[in-house]
Structure 1
């Protein structure tokens, strides 16, 4: 696997540029029963970003055909999402029997000179999130310049709380999505704990990325116990059994998802989304494999 910043942040910036966005996992019903009736499966669309750029409607049809029902978006910029208006995307998705549930957003402090970030045009972003029918708006990623010190993280919590209040006033829950660096000690503290402890329990929930936590040896179960009922969203992605710990299809790696799902009630999880940042085969094939494996487990 390549450099983290190159793969994750650079890849997203490249998609925004190449898809004309202008300037720039499975889901569980609120009952939280791991194998309950009527379960819906969700996907973070970043997994199929290149195909979205080339053929938005065709890619969404492929996702729906596999069986996914709830989607998490990324790349909202200047009032557009994947190059179309929010209302257009919603109609496109709902005509295929799916729903838009959650969206990823940047702080806007670095490398995001467009409208629609936490610090730039947030009110309009929230308005458009309502147009799309989103239930969650999530801070997706911090660039290195934003996370040099614990003080940076403490300042971040102020921005998260303010942004979350705006979202809550519009009926949308705000969340924070981790990578690996939030679980690496900095100045004697874990940044993820600083974020969680510095934000209002009612305003900010966690979207726990199970891969990134596992990659640096942090137990999701420990996180759930420390912050019970506060991890409303999960990213379900697997880690290959290799020295490089590459991304792989859910069920093809080493993460014990069955054990994690046993703690879904403790976590307060409402939705979870399959995601695979980098695929070794065509992404649509990868998300189909992940879907089938999770179905096979009866999750």
Structure 2
């Protein structure tokens, strides 16, 4: 992990970035906070060319996206052209579609179909499909979690992972262990923390919850992660303050490592 490879997930700012001006303002604030990259997800219907222009204007790389599954199945060429315009290699899917959930066979079918999409992205456009989990993938089917099924049944070359470490923890998994399980297949990771409030897990800024982030970052580094994306689905303070707190913590980790 380097400072330049820590990105902000735009889903955190989905309310602020629904218009072109809102996106411009958000990019500017993130750059001022200290981010050098973003993942595009949840923004409004803004022309991709303007998104690129605004990212360039604020000196922000676009490291990854989340794309609706129907666009991946029906508009793959347009999706690829959008990513090439943005100089963005990683084509993300934020959640398994409803129709595949609830059974081992459903997840196997999804793994096969998404692998075929990933093969096309790789072979025709030199792009990489990555899958973002939630906690539902830790439901068990015949003794295996859906995550295990996805890992085993998908094409290792075409189906990448974008582990969300909060949701791994929420599902009962060990985040650092899962980073090693997907070694070589995860170039983008999602970072957010978990606090317990009134007996329930809630979203927290990285380094301000109960998760073992030094161990998680070390596992990500050891397994070849390229982009470390800060996300907070719900913030209990101003979201820009939240992502600054997360970034400050990650910078502190980097400084601490220099002295070890």
TM-score by length of 1: 0.79
Instruction: Tell me what 1:74 maps to.
Output: 41
Do 1:106 and 1:142's aligned partners in 2 also have CA atoms closer than 8 Å?
no
Q: Residue in 1 aligned with 2:14?
A: 49
What's the CA shift for 1:141? 0.8
Alignment size in residue pairs: 251
Deviation of 1:201 after TM superposition, in Å, equals: 1.3
Give the match for residue 147 of structure 1: 101
Structure 1 outlier segments of 4+, above 3 Å: none
**Would the aligned equivalents of 2:7 and 2:37 in 1 still touch at CA under 8 Å?**
yes
Given candidates 147, 155, 164, the residue that maps to 1:192 is: 147
Are 1:170 and 2:125 counterparts?
yes
Aligned position for 1:126:
80
- Distance (whole Å) between structure 2 residues aligned to residue 298 and residue 225 of structure 1: 21
Normalised by the length of structure 2, the TM-score is 0.90
Q: What is the alpha-carbon distance in structure 2 between the residues aligned to residue 122 and residue 278 of structure 1?
A: 31
**Equivalence for 1:103:** 65
The structure in which a higher percent of residues are helix is 2
2:4, 2:37 within 8 Å by CA — same for their partners in 1? no
Q: Distance in 2 between matches of 1:136 and 1:176?
A: 10
Does the Cα contact within 8 Å between 2:4 and 2:36 map onto a contact in 1? no
Q: Which residue of 2 aligns with 1:245?
A: 201
> Which of residues 274, 278, 291 in structure 1 aligns to 2:230?
274
- What is the CA–CA distance in structure 1 between the aligned matches of 2:6 and 2:69, rounded to whole Å? 28
- Distance in 2 (alpha carbons) for counterparts of 1:167 and 1:276: 28
Deviation of residue 218 (structure 1)? 0.4
Q: Which whole-Å deviations, capped at 9, do the CAs of 1:196-238 have from their partners, x for residues lacking one?
A: 2112111121101000001122012322333322222110000
How big is each residue's C-alpha offset from its partner over 1:32-61, in whole Å with a ceiling of 9 and x where there is no partner? xx4x5x643201100011111251211111
In structure 1, what is the Cα distance between the partners aligned to 2:246 and 2:177? 25
Query: Helix, strand or coil for the counterpart of 2:225?
Result: coil
**Do structure 1's residue 40 and structure 2's residue 5 form an aligned pair?**
yes
In structure 1, how many angstroms separate the alpha carbons of the residues matched to 2:245 and 2:95? 27
In the alignment, structure 1 residue 284 sits paired with structure 2 residue 240: yes
Determine whether 1:60 maps to 2:27: yes
Instruction: Specify which of 210, 219, 224 is matched with residue 179 of structure 2.
Output: 224
Shift of 1:143: 4.0
Corresponding residue of 1:78: none
Contiguous gaps of at least 5 residues in structure 2: 256-260
